[in-house]
Amino acid sequence: MRIGLLGFGTVGKGVYKLVAPRADMQVVRVLCRRDLELDDAAVTHNFDDILNDPTIDTVVEAIGGLHPAREYVIAAMEHGKNVVTANKAMVAVYYDELLPLAQRMGVHFRCTASVGGGIGWLSELERVRRIETVSHVGGIMNGTCNFILDSMHRTGMDYKAALAQAQALGYAEADPSTDVDGIDTWHKLIISANVGFGVSLDLNSVPVAGIRNIQASDIENFKAHGMVCKLLSTAKQQDGSYSAYVQPTLCPAGTLEASVPTNYNLITLSGNTSGRQSFYGQGAGRYPTAYNVVQDCIDCLRGRGFYCSYGKKVTVINKLKLSYYVSGATDDALEERKALNWGDAVVTRPVSIHWMHQWLDAHPGAFIAALPVEE
Ligand SMILES: NC(=O)c1ccc[n+]([C@@H]2O[C@H](COP(=O)([O-])OP(=O)(O)OC[C@H]3O[C@@H](n4cnc5c(N)ncnc54)[C@H](OP(=O)(O)O)[C@@H]3O)[C@@H](O)[C@H]2O)c1
Give me the pLDDT at residue 126, please: 96
Sign of dihedral through CA atoms 124, 66, 145, 286? positive
Distance CA 181, CA 231 (A): 10
Catalytic residue from among 188, 312, 321, 338:
188
For 207-225, write each residue's pLDDT tens digit: 999 999 999 999 999 999 9
Would you state the pLDDT for residue 375?
Answer: 57
**Would you state the pLDDT for residue 41?**
87
Q: Whose CA is nearest to atom 5 of ligand 1?
A: 284
Question: How far, in Å, CA of 327 to CA of 313, rounded?
Answer: 36
pTM (predicted TM-score): 0.98
At residue 140, what are phi and psi to the nearest 5 degrees?
-95, 110
Of 240, 236, 244, nearest to 312 (Cα)? Answer: 240
DSSP-derived letter for residue 39 is: S
Ligand 1, from 34, 63, 286: best to mutate by most atoms within 8 Å of Cβ? 63
Residue ranges in the chain whose pLDDT is less than 70 = 374-375
pLDDT of residue 322: 98
| Strand (E) or helix (H) holding 232 | strand 227-238
List of domains in the chain: 2-110 (3.40.50.720), 121-370 (3.30.360.10)
On whether the CB atoms of residues 175 and 259 are closer than 8 A, the answer is no
> Are the beta carbons of 209 and 360 closer than 8 angstroms?
yes
- The residue whose CA has the least distance to atom 6 of ligand 1 is 117
CA 223-248-343 angle, 5° bins: 40
Take atom 47 of ligand 1 and give the residue whose Cα is closest. 87
188 catalytic per annotation: yes
How far is the C-alpha of 321 from the C-alpha of 306, rounded, in Å?
A: 35
255 three-class SS:
coil
| Ligand 1 shell residues, CB under 6 Å | 7-12, 31-34, 62-64, 68, 86-88, 113-114, 117, 284-285, 289
